[in-house]
Every structure is written in C-alpha cells, then in structure tokens.
Structure 1
Amino acid sequence: MGSSQSPEVRRRDLLGLSAAAMAGGLPLAACGGSVSPVEAGASPSASGSAAQEQEAPVTPPEDLMREHGVLKRVLLIYREGIRRIEGGEPVPAQPLNAGARIIRDFIQDYHEHLEEQYVFPRLREAGKLTDTVSVLLLQHQRGRVLTDRILRATGASATPRTGDRRELVAAMAAFIRMYEPHEAREDTVVFPVFRDVVPAKEFLRLGETFEDEEHRRFGQSGFTGVVGQVADIEKALGIYDLARFTPRV
C-alpha cells in the first residue's frame, strides 16, 4: 500500500528540495520547513490562557474537508509541474514526487480509507447517494493508478525522456480533472448527507476516532505537520506566496 516512511523522515527528505530551489533562482530561506500557526489551522491567540481553554471538537466533515485543502494544494503543485514541463523547462521531479507521496500516504491511505470505512457504508445502509458512492469508490481506485504513474515517472531512477514527460503530464492532468469534481461533490453533497444519517452521539465519537487515527499515523503534529510538508514543496517551486495568484484587473 503506502510508503513506510514516517512524516518526520519525509519532512527531512524535503530539505533536499532547497538545492532545486536554488537552481531555480529561489533564495535558500524560501525552502524553510516552517509554517505559521494561522496557515496550519491554529488561532493566533492559541498561546497563554487561550491555549488552556478546552478546544471545540472537530466534526468528521470538518476534518475531511480540511484534508481536502491539502489535496487542493497538491493539485496546484501538479499544475505548476505541468506548466514547467509544457514550457520546455526541466521536470521538477523531486517536488512532484514529494507531492505524490503526500497524496499516497495522507490522502489515499488515510483520508480515503476513512471515507471507505466510515462514510460510504453509512450512506449505503441508509440508501442515500448509492450511485454517487459507487463512482467515488471507482475514482479512488483510478486515483491510485495515476499516483503510481506519477511516482514512477518522478522517482530517483526515472529518466526524463520525451515519452515519460508526456506520460507524467497526462497522469497529473487526469488526476486534477478527476479530483476537482470529486472533492467538490463530497464537500457539498456527500458530507452533508452523511451528517444527516448519523446520530449526534455517534457523530461526536467518530470525530474522536478520526483524530486518534490521524495521530496514530502521522504523529503528534498530525494534520499540521502534513501542511508543513506541503508548504515546503510550494516554497521549493516558488508558488508558496499567496499573492502570486492575485490577478491584475
């Protein structure tokens, strides 16, 4: 299934991206692994007395939807890879491989596992969205196939031949095209119906189950640590600055 590397090992691997950033004209400081508490989902006042207050529970849909935010950011990484390759630039293999490993470990082996174990069965039991669930499950399978192709094309032993570049671009484009509507349908249709069919007490227990599984798989930093990994890749590619995406009008 997914990579056996811990998030900490993968995060250290990303330090190697600084060399790629320097080759692209980015300052070395841009590859720093830090991410602000606000960007990682923490409140600016989450220190002192505020930190001692009991945190509001994170509901299962909120948990799944913020994980979709990680997916969206990796899709932006894939888009940048496509832009560079189609523009005749060198393949940014290391950042793309790091992004694909996050997709495999965090999205497919963890996030989609939660959906398949807890969300989709409850919808089917309730007779809700059964056709949609079947399509989503098939897309999970196809997503794994595409991720395998991206990992192979960007691995350390991969050679940047013309045919391989085309296959890599096709795999990333197909992944983006499928997962943008996939996650949008889950956020706007699947998760609201899921909330409706699950009793309130069980709903709260599921939130605790999701959090426990997150920390079991990804350590104490959990979601925040994964967001930091994504930020490292964005900085290496020069797409971390949010202002870059503001159009001139």
Structure 2
Amino acid sequence: MSVGGVLEREHRIIDVGITIFAGAEPEEVTASQRMALLDAIAMLRRHIYLEEEYLFPPLRAAGLLGPVMVMLLEHGKMWPVLDELERLLGDGDFAATAELCRNLLEQLAAHNLKEERILYPQAEDLLTAGDLDELNELLASAEMPSGWACSGVAVD
C-alpha cells in the first residue's frame, strides 16, 4: 500500500473511533465506546507524530513549506483538544466529551482532505522509492516517544 494509502486508512480508523463516541447518548456510554475514543486519540497522536517526524521533513525539503506549515498549525490546534477529551472522559463528563468529539470531527474533515489531496500525492511524486519504502516501514512500526508533543504546542 502507498504511504498516502496507509495514512488515509488511519484517518478513517481514527474518524470511526471518534464517531462512535460522538453519537453516544451521554447517559448510556459504554466501556467499549470509551475505549474506542481512547484508542482513536492515541492513534491520532501517533499519526501526527509520524507525519511531523517522518513525512513532513522531506516534503519541506522538496519545497512544500506552505502546505506543511498549514498542517503543523492545524496539528497544534488539535493537540490540546485531545488533552481536553482525555480529561473530560476521565471526569465522566460524557455530554461535553461527545460535543468536543463532534467539533474535532469537523476539524479533521477539513484537515484530512487537505492532506489527502495535497500532501500525500506530493509525497508519492517527490520522494524516492527508497524513501517511500523507509517511510512505509516507519508507519508500520514506529512508536511515539513518551512526552512527545506536536510542534505547534508548547511543552512544559
């Protein structure tokens, strides 16, 4: 599967996990709905890590600074939302969690469309076959380091 295909597949999986919770009735939230959301949050954090550490640098070097900067800014806006979702979920505020999930899904719809139509095709066109193979290996195996935060978020 292409790098873009792998990343697009992750977008869909993440969206499903968030959607499962966004559609939940707050008074009837199940453990599996909570787990689906927590898994989606973890996967989105790892997805952002992989893009920022492995996909975006060669795209920046190839001259796509503007589109990459837009994605970085949007990641920076999403990261605190993920923190807030975890906090609300832990507090048991399922109504606020579901509302924030719906807002995040709107952000992701616009963000993912740009990545899928602009950046991912450019990666396939601009990166060498060796670079694409290496990136595919990283997508399959790389772990996000503990404490890592996206570039648009200040780390304490």
TM-score, normalized by length of structure 1? 0.51
Residue number in structure 1 paired with 2:73: 138
What residue ranges of structure 2 are gaps of 5+ in the alignment?
146-156
Contact 2:20 2:37 in 1 (8 A): no
Which structure has the larger Rg? 1
Q: How does 1:52-201 map to 2 (within 5 A)?
A: 58-81=1-24, 84-85=25-26, 90=27, 92=29, 94-108=31-45, 110-128=46-64, 130-155=65-90, 158-160=91-93, 165=95, 167-201=96-130
| Kept after mapping to 2: 8 A contact 1:150/1:168 | yes
Percent identity of the aligned residues? 22
Query: What secondary structure is seen at the aligned counterpart in 1 of 2:63?
Result: coil
| Matches of 1:175 and 1:72, distance apart in 2 | 9
Shift of residue 144, structure 1, vs aligned partner: 2.1
Residues 213, 142 of structure 1: CA spacing in aligned structure 2 closer, same or farther, 3 A cutoff? same
Query: Where do 4+ consecutive residues of structure 1 move more than 6 Å?
Result: none
Q: Is the 8 A contact 2:23 2:98 kept in 1?
A: no
Which residue number corresponds to residue 154 of structure 2?
A: none
Deviation (angstroms), 1:96: 4.4
Letter in 2 for 1:198: L
Instruction: Tell me, in whole angstroms, the C-alpha distance in 2 between the residues paired with 1:154 and 1:186.
Output: 28
Q: Aligned to 1:127, what secondary structure does the other structure show?
A: coil
Q: Distance in 1 between matches of 2:62 and 2:128?
A: 12
2:138 matched to which residue of 1?
A: 209
Q: CA deviation at 1:125?
A: 1.0
Aligned pairs, how many? 145
Higher helix share: 2
Q: Residue 61 of structure 1 contacts residue 191 of structure 1 at CA under 8 Å; is this kept in 2?
A: yes
Contact 1:93-1:154 at 8 Å conserved across structures:
no
TM-score normalised to the size of structure 2? 0.78
Answer whether contact 1:71 1:107 (CA < 8 A) is retained: yes
CA contact (8 A) 1:74 1:103 kept: yes
**Superposition RMSD on alpha carbons, in Å?**
2.5
Q: Quick one: structure 1 residues 96 and 145, their matched pair in 2 at CA, closer, same or farther if it must change by over 3 Å?
A: farther
Structure 1 SS opposite 2:16: helix
The CA deviation at 1:100 is 3.0
Deviations 1:134-159 (A, max 9, x none): 2221222222211222222222xx25
- Give unpaired runs (5+ residues) of structure 1: 1-57, 218-249
AA in 1 matched with 2:29: P
Matches within 5 A, 1:26-41: none
| d(CA) in 1 for partners of 2:58, 2:92 | 45
Separation (CA, whole Å) in 2 of partners of 1:114 and 1:168: 26
Partner of 1:224: none
- Whole-angstrom distance in 2 between the partners of 1:95 and 1:143: 23
Cα 1:159–1:118 change in 2 (3 A) is: closer
